[in-house]
Structure 1
């Protein structure tokens, strides 16, 4: 099955976001944030962007792969089939131990450019989110016309995320410059089918080329801290079969899963 990064909506917003508004002391003075215990927007998302800051923790729970194409990004595979996320129930609540990427935890907030001719980023939010609004109960976003402690914390989280995303982009660029990324393929043989299920359409580090690195290049990736990140990615690929088996157990395997642009090859 081809694993593809979900495409952005037609309005060119990042995945999960339906709309974006800049947070304003005038327009949102009475807005509050309330906690939500589910993420229904995540139930049909099988691949979620991941930063390198999260590799070491995330690799214990799910495979880390790289999206296909020239501009690869790391993705945490929360399911192998399009539209399947094994870590959430149908209501969007966690089934058990899992790693929730910072990309998800950031929602409905994000830093965005309000004008294409400016590099300045503004704190924005998705107004369709049930977590934010002019509620009677919740934590205020503003106090005495100034950002509340909660809003300041949100801004810091989003700033940290942008910095991690920049480091991640540099990490992928280094992998590509050293020609360490290759097209990936995973074959899973199961009793439910005569032929193995073959998953393609993603990229991974080429272990053979990694072993052949010598001298300056090897010292570079070792001293820069890239090496443990690369191995976290490679070790995580062993979880492919576990994710596959969880899908089968949940009745969401490639035979049960809804038809998608990418299908498993039997």
Structure 2
């Protein structure tokens, strides 16, 4: 999930990336906020496998329809809709916030395409890092503070979780368990159901057809629990749709719009 700090390849949320260093940012501080403005209008947020159980209590978990599928927490069923934050980024209820969103505005990134080394970078367009009177200092006497080290550790742990997540996706793909997803939601007052496509999900028929030794291996590795967390989470599809309607953000007509 690491990305080179180039404008053309910036990951979700990030408008720019700049390496953090003690020379240019010696007096800079980081601060927290109750308003996650970067999540406004973001309907799908990447997840790591470690988060499946926690996230499944609040959101549908699906997989992107890309060549290399990525697990996603759906916070809205239509692009540009996040039903869990208001227009200022304030959470509308206590929820589990994916680590991908919690690490912003920091991330580990390659400074050049040629290197494999990752450096701690941040989005310089944010108001969460800068020369503030308040906040936690990032450097002291030219050395990273405990707060800076904690941020670095969090980003490193996220990258490691990203590798484990990719291994999980690779395995379910190899087993042929991912299929094109489709959800049909019947809304009162509409003759036709709303159809959502554009994502992938686990094929339950193929899961049931796996050999006993394959299922046993998946159970022992913890993969089976992750798959069931994903499948159980799909029950939230109708709940998220209802939140969209309640907030006046629902689709006007039952067009076949992508969920991810």
- Under a length normalisation based on structure 2, what TM-score does the superposition of the two structures give? 0.94
Residue number in structure 1 paired with 2:224: 227
Give the CA deviation at 1:167.
0.2
Residue number in structure 1 paired with 2:80: 83
Whether the 8 Å contact between 2:197 and 2:257 is mirrored in structure 1 is no
1:156-183 per-position Cα deviation (integer Å, ceiling 9, x unaligned): 0000000000000000000000000000
Query: Alignment partner for residue 153 of structure 1, among 150, 155, 179?
Result: 150
Residue number in structure 2 paired with 1:263: 257
Aligned length: 253
Aligned pairs for 1:1-266 within 5 A? 11-255=8-252, 263=257
Separation of aligned partners in 1, 2:249 and 2:165 = 31
1:99-147 per-position Cα deviation (integer Å, ceiling 9, x unaligned): 2110000000000111222211110001111100011222110011110
Separation of aligned partners in 1, 2:210 and 2:160 = 29
Q: 5+ residue gaps in structure 2? A: 1-5
Separation of aligned partners in 1, 2:184 and 2:234 = 12
Q: 5+ residue gaps in structure 1? A: 1-8
Query: What is the RMSD of the two structures over their aligned residues, measured on CA atoms?
Result: 1.7
Separation of aligned partners in 2, 1:40 and 1:138 = 18
